[in-house]
Structure 1
Amino acid sequence: MDSTTSSPTTVPLTSPTSRAEYWDTYYARSGSSGLPVPSQFAVFVAGELGGPHRVVDVGCGNGRDSLFFLLHGHQVVGIDASQVAIERCRDRADQLALGGDFVRASILEPRFAELLPDGDLPTAVYARFFLHAITDEEEAAFLSSIRDFTRPGDVVALEYRSVRDVSLEKVTGQHYRRYVDPARFNADLVKHGFTITYAVEGFGFAKYKNDDAYVARVCLTRD
């Protein structure tokens, strides 16, 4: 068992069903009007994309980054296991007349890639704070899935809490977290047929109130 599974969590949310129910409750308490502020990572990734892409936002949550990519001329497919989150994203996109596709799906579904609407643009798979919110089994399925529905030259951009974040303060301490070892994960990415084009770790990338997460960012291209 590697270091990602031995890290502590504050609630036993290891099953997809229990986590989906948790996030349904979480997003039901949040508002869904107006245009939310995008994450720092979304702004960074948008600056790295050379032109319009089909951005597949895996674990899109409240849609803050999906909406940002839509505003910047990209086609967007937002994916989340929470039905409430997906409904909130659709409502927000409709209110702002931005379009986009939002799909409720679990990464463990056998035909996950077939749930994605077709697109004629190059694909950019985007996942912020998703990787550390899933299990080892789901991580393996995620890497296999993005390998299946991307083509050579497509882009993947990921941001997640690393193992160095385990003991740091958390504003949302009740969330399930599986802290990831970047060295181990980057090696897995290469094994799945991706080339790492950018990788960095540190503080200051994802500050939220008193929570200055120690995160890793990695950008890839599909071989």
Structure 2
Amino acid sequence: MQLVKEKNQPVGETVNLAYWNEFYKRFYIEEESTFCSYIKSRIDKDTLIIDIGCGTGQDIRSFYREGFCVTGIDRSLEVINSNNNVIKQAGYRDSIDFKQVDISSESELSKFIQEKLEEARGRKKKLLVYSRFFLHSINQQTEEVLLKTLAKQLDNGDLFAAEFRTIEDANKEKVYNNHYRRFVDSEQLVKNLEEVYRFEVLEYTKGTGFSIYKGEDPYLARIIARKS
């Protein structure tokens, strides 16, 4: 697949946005991910959750049903509109919403995080920035925007949790293999979180068996880090 760069857009991500807009028109997931279950067992209910790159919103809805205040964000307007229709039809009320946010825009992301921090503090809650299968869908430039923004905006004690494909996954078979992926050097990411962005990494593990789908068993990393 040839990646095309439009003006002011990171390489790969313009192509990815078009791909996911079409994908979400025909694809819907209801069951929570194994990562969602993993995180729920490790956080308190006094946590406000932001799901960055929320996709079809199955994890956000699962968090909501467990009593968490949640917001899902994605750059795809297609999936944001679909998610908002789902929660409207389901009769969900306060404490859940979906918004379109361009994560590659530092100013747009910063404004959104500030709003959520104010909401979290008003509700006397900590903030968790949750990211499943997102870091490997963005390039290095956007990753730096995301982590730089979180480092600036989050308060001590707020959390960042991520599950993503690593460099060890690059040559493994994929069910969907027709879109942009970046295989993350997880060791370097942990080092950057601790030394550059001033997070304390509480949990870090990698391997297979985390998220098996249609016979695909990707090599993934899981990280939970606390702003310090």
Pick 1 or 2: higher relative contact order, CA cutoff 8 A, min separation 6.
1
Q: Can you give the 5+ residue segments of structure 2 that lack an aligned partner in the other structure?
A: 5-10
Tell me what 1:30 maps to. 27
Match of 2:157 among 153, 159, 162: 153
- Structure 1 residue 88: Cα displacement: 1.2
Match of 1:54 among 45, 48, 57: 48
- Structure 1 residue 146: Cα displacement: 1.6
Tell me if 1:126 matches 2:123: no
Please give the residue correspondences for 1:165-204 in structure 2 after superposition, counting only pairs within 5 Å.
165-190=169-194, 191-204=196-209
Q: What CA deviation, in whole Å up to 9, does each residue of 1:50-107 have, x standing for no partner?
A: 2231101000000011111111111111110100011111111222223412111111
- Separation in structure 2 between the aligned mates of residue 11 and residue 53 of structure 1, nearest angstrom: 41
Tell me the matched-pair count.
211
Please give the residue correspondences for 1:1-223 in structure 2 after superposition, counting only pairs within 5 Å.
10-12=1-3, 14-31=11-28, 36-99=30-93, 100-111=96-107, 112-116=109-113, 117-118=115-116, 119-120=119-120, 121-190=125-194, 191-223=196-228
- Structure 1 residue 11: Cα displacement: 4.7
- Separation in structure 2 between the aligned mates of residue 148 and residue 97 of structure 1, nearest angstrom: 36
RMSD (CA atoms): 1.5
4+ long deviations beyond 6 Å: none
Letter in 2 for 1:129: F
Q: Can you give the 5+ residue segments of structure 1 that lack an aligned partner in the other structure?
A: 1-9
TM-score (norm 2): 0.88
- Separation in structure 2 between the aligned mates of residue 37 and residue 23 of structure 1, nearest angstrom: 19
TM-score (norm 1): 0.90
- Separation in structure 2 between the aligned mates of residue 194 and residue 75 of structure 1, nearest angstrom: 23
Identity, % of aligned positions: 29
- Structure 1 residue 19: Cα displacement: 1.9
- Structure 1 residue 15: Cα displacement: 4.0
